Amino acid sequence: MARGSTSARPTSRDVAQAAGVSQAAVSLVLGDKWRGRVSETTAERVREAARRLDYRPNLAARNLRLGRTRTVLLVVPALTTEFFAGVYTGAARVAADHGFGVVLYPSPEGIGPARDPFASARAALDGVLASSMAADALTAIRGDQLPLVMLDSDPHGSLGAATVNLDIADGTRQVADHLLALGHRHFLHVAADIPSWTFDVRARELATRLRAVPGTTLRTAGTPMTIEGALAAAETALDTPGPRPTAVVCDDDKLAAGVYKALRRRGLRVPDDVSVTGVDDIALATALDPELTTIRLDAERFGEHGMHALLAVLDGRTPDQGDIPVELVVRGSTAAPSPF
């Protein structure tokens, strides 16, 4: 039924009629209590009818019944990275499908946690989804006292919380094996100097894989997560005595952009003289010339999995296990090393 701007807001009865089900079924589906009670097909039909009618439940009444605010907090290190924008998009999509709202809480790099956006986080939130790179912000808002799911975090040491991880260890092995197969033996790792489990995993896996191949060398240059920082770190490493690296492995696509600049300042070509790889596969990866070989991380899927895990925790269920696969995307920035 078409509704004009003066029509009353749709009700659960309208959704039930549109989907051809009972109001009880609508309540089960939109309250995420349908599993084992209605079919997946019926649940999707109800969700589609609700979207088509732009149905919004009476959250005030529901919250009185459930004792919940239906609000979760997503804690990220900064809003300046395309990756975390994708994480938010995926998390918010799943949250909306389950009648939850998401508040985004940035903890800007270099200046510590932002001010608590709530007078009492425990009173205003049902749960928290947090990146390990912003874990310090949790204590500032007492988020570690709420139902919590950690992203990119050590499964054995994340405040006792459930964890959702990308398989970054496998991604690092894919990069190393790709470069080794091309014939590279002298490596530079331009590593983010952020104390974080995910960056520790990358460094450890790269070193372990390269040690297994005789004749390899590996140097590490730490840098802030900026193009300028990577430029300076790469210039210093290139000026250091010893075998010149024929391959540079970067912890992030932005860092790879800084490495490109450092190489060109020294008259070196990518990939003719030096191959370069990144991580994330953000838009920058295909804006670089040549386009960047990188590990593709599906940020939206990551956010979706994180939110599903948090909803499971809130519902008293154990979240699904297993890391999210990642993919090496080979482009023009890697090639066999040329003889000096």
> Which CATH number belongs to the domain containing residue 214 in this structure?
3.40.50.2300
What mean pLDDT comes out for the span 31-44? 81
Which residues is 277 bridged to in the sheet? Answer: 249, 293
Give 137's pLDDT tier (boundaries 50, 70, 90).
low
Question: Where on the phi/psi map is residue 50: left (φ > 0), alpha (ψ -120 to 50), or beta?
Answer: alpha
* Average pLDDT across the chain, whole number: 84
Residue 316 burial (CB count, 10 A) = 7
In a domain, 116, yes or no: yes
Question: HSE-up of 186 (CA within 13 Å, CB side)?
Answer: 13
Q: Range with the lowest mean pLDDT among 45-59, 79-93, 176-190?
A: 45-59
**103 and 184 together in one domain:** no
Cα dihedral angle (60, 62, 63, 65), rounded to 10 degrees? 130
**32 and 106 together in one domain:** no
What mean pLDDT comes out for the span 308-336? 91
In a domain, 332, yes or no: no
Predicted confidence (pLDDT) at residue 292 exceeds the cutoff of 50: yes
**36 and 94 together in one domain:** no
Q: How far is residue 248's CA from residue 53's CA, in Å, rounded to a whole number?
A: 53
Q: How far is residue 188's CA from residue 184's CA, in Å, rounded to a whole number?
A: 11
**77 and 221 together in one domain:** no
Give 161's pLDDT tier (boundaries 50, 70, 90).
confident
In a domain, 173, yes or no: yes
Which residue, chain included where needed, has tokens 């790179």?
Answer: 133
Identify the CA nearest to 164 among candidates 151, 173, 177. 151
Q: Which long-range contacts (CB under 8 A, 24 or more apart) does 135-138 make?
A: 135/159, 136/107, 136/112, 137/75, 137/105, 137/107, 137/113, 138/75
Q: Range with the lowest mean pLDDT among 54-63, 124-133, 257-266?
A: 54-63
**Residue 303, pLDDT score:** 95
33 is in which domain, residue-wise? 12-57
**Residue 173, pLDDT score:** 97
Q: How far is residue 155's CA from residue 168's CA, in Å, rounded to a whole number?
A: 13
User: Percentage of residues in the chain with pLDDT exceeding 70?
Assistant: 83
Predicted confidence (pLDDT) at residue 193 exceeds the cutoff of 80: yes
Q: Range with the lowest mean pLDDT among 1-5, 21-25, 51-55, 318-322?
A: 1-5
**191 and 259 together in one domain:** yes
Name the strand (E) or helix (H) holding 294.
Answer: strand 293-296
Beta strand residue intervals within 42-147, DSSP E: 71-76, 101-106, 127-131
**136 and 178 together in one domain:** no
What mean pLDDT comes out for the span 159-185? 92
In a domain, 93, yes or no: yes
In a domain, 3, yes or no: no
**251 and 263 together in one domain:** yes
Q: How far is residue 228's CA from residue 261's CA, in Å, rounded to a whole number?
A: 9
Which residues, 6+ apart, have CB-to-CB distance to 139 below 8 Å?
A: none
Predicted confidence (pLDDT) at residue 283 exceeds the cutoff of 60: yes
Predicted confidence (pLDDT) at residue 108 exceeds the cutoff of 80: no
The more confident residue out of 11 and 272 is: 272
pLDDT in tens, 62-88: 443 444 678 888 888 876 678 888 999
In a domain, 153, yes or no: yes
Whichever domain contains 43, its CATH number is 1.10.260
Which residues is 295 bridged to in the sheet? Answer: 279, 328
What mean pLDDT comes out for the span 101-113? 67
Residue 162, CA distances (Å) to 16, 89, 218 in order: 36, 21, 34
Task: Please tell me the total count of domains within the chain.
Answer: 3
In a domain, 63, yes or no: no
Q: How far is residue 15's CA from residue 219's CA, in Å, rounded to a whole number?
A: 61
**146 and 77 together in one domain:** yes
Give 223's pLDDT tier (boundaries 50, 70, 90).
very high
Predicted confidence (pLDDT) at residue 122 exceeds the cutoff of 60: no
